Amino acid sequence: MSGSPPSPCQITASACLLVLCGLPAAGKTTIAIALAAAAAGQSVKTEVVCFDDAHPQGTGSSESAIQAFDPTLWKASRQAAICKVQQLLSAPHTASSTDGASGGQLLVIVDDNMQYRSMRHECFKLARAHQAAYVQIYLPVSLEEALQRNACREGPPRVPDQVICRMHEVLEPPEPAKYDWEAASLSWPCGDASRHDLWHTIQRLWGPPVAAPPSVEAQAAQRRQAQAATQANLLHALDLHCRRAISAAIGQAPPCVDKRQLAVRLNQARAEMLARAGVIANLIKPVAAENLWSCLLVVLHDCSCPWRPSGKAPSQRRGHGA
């Protein structure tokens, strides 16, 4: 399980959008029914939106069922289900509270495969737009078990086997460690522990409303900070490469060259190069080490250095790359 429970003083949203995801026959509808009953027992109004109800699928595993699939109708039915979720979340309900009381709360359960992360993110944005909490339950099941359970079904609930196999290939389980918006995620195999425990876990994950996205001004400030950090890193990398190049150049200098004077002039060229780079910092892009060496040679030429090392870049020390 991922996501931490809200603290006693934390605001709890008056509405929660709970999204179920997993392969067909993973037990999503069973869990949805059980959670609705448990929530109703604590005076929490519950609405279950089953996407299959909006678009009944062809039955059986025959080719005819697959061929009868209409992508346009499927998209329209999903949009209708999304609109229903939006209508439920936009209906008036009690304001958020800090005492954890369930009176007047609304739980909207989305019963669908939600195999793509983008599908779940669309629901997340709905929760954010309507100041609701957002929770995900992933029901893991092996392909073999899903096919076995599906074979025991009859009528519309049965899904063509090819559809389940394809969905197994593309399924994107929640990754709360990688995506912040999936933080309140729960992996719950169907039949694992008691459904009563599951409801209490959902209550702990039911936290404050999803935070609004940063304002345009805040996003601009973040971009400026990131650009400044990138500029500093690039200039630092350039400086390190220049220092190594100067060291190699001095080492290659013939005996007739005054190495102290050469070091002074090369370091002056290095400072000039860094100054130029700072002026056009917004145009700087990461370049390979050998290109940095070429840049130094150009600056040395511009500065009329009496002696220039060969155009071959010095060997890079392990771990010192830009």
Whether 10 is in a domain gets the answer no
User: Do 244 and 192 fall within a single domain?
Assistant: no
Q: Is 66 a domain residue?
A: yes
- Residue where a domain stops, chosen among 171, 205, 239: 205
Strands of the 45-50 sheet, one edge to the other = 45-50, 106-111, 15-21, 133-138, 185-187
Tell me if 218 is assigned to some domain: no
| 28 & 119 share domain | yes
Residues 30 and 172 in one domain: yes
pTM of the model: 0.63
Residues 70 and 20 in one domain: yes
Q: Where are the alpha helices (DSSP H) in the chain?
A: 28-40, 51-54, 63-67, 71-90, 117-129, 143-151, 161-170, 195-205, 216-252, 259-279, 289-302
* Residue 201 is assigned to a structural domain of this protein: yes
Q: What is the pLDDT of residue 265?
A: 87
91 Cβ contact list (under 8 Å, min separation 6) = 106
The domain total for the chain is 2
Residue 274 confidence (pLDDT): 78
Q: Which residues, in sequence order, are bridge partners of residue 48?
A: 109
For residue 189, give the CATH number of its domain: 3.40.50.300
Are residue 173 and residue 84 in the same domain, yes or no? yes
pLDDT tens-place string over residues 265-317? 888 888 887 787 766 554 444 444 445 445 545 554 554 444 444 444 444 44
269 and 234 together in one domain: yes
Same domain, yes or no: 186 and 230: no
For 25-58, how does the pLDDT look when each residue is reduced to its tens digit (9 = 90+)? 999 999 999 999 999 888 999 999 998 876 655 4
**Are 194 and 230 contained in the same domain?**
no
What pLDDT shows up at residue 59? 46
Question: Is the Cβ–Cβ distance between 47 and 110 less than 8 Å?
Answer: no
Among 170, 205, 240, the domain-final residue is 205
Of 152, 171, 205, the last residue of a domain is 205
Domain shared by 257 and 185, yes or no: no
* Residue 232 located in a structural domain: yes
35 and 149 in a single domain? The answer is: yes
CA distance 21 to 162: 19
Residue 104: inside a domain, yes or no? yes
Q: Is residue 26 part of a domain?
A: yes
Q: Which domain holds residue 265?
A: 223-302
- Residue 96 and residue 141 in one domain: yes
Whether residues 150 and 273 share a domain: the answer is: no
Q: Is the residue at 61 inside a domain?
A: yes
Residue spans of the chain under pLDDT 50: 1-9, 58-62, 95, 97-101, 282-290, 292-293, 296, 300, 303-322
